Amino acid sequence: MEDKKIDLINKEQLKQEMNRPDLEIIDVREDDEVAEGIIPGAKHIKLGDIPTRISELSKDKEYVMVCRSGGRSNRAGVQLEEQGYNVKNLQGGMLDWDGDVSK
Can you name the residues that pair with 43 across neighbouring β-strands? Answer: 26
Specify whether 15 is catalytic. Answer: no
Give CA–CA dist 7/85, Å, rounded.
12
Give CA–CA dist 38/58, Å, rounded.
21
Catalytic residue among 14, 50, 67, 87: 67
What H or E segment, with its residue span, contains residue 76? helix 71-82
Say if CB 23 and CB 62 are below 8 A apart.
Answer: yes
Task: Dihedral sign for Cα 83, 88, 93, 99, please.
Answer: negative
- Point out the residues that are catalytic: 67
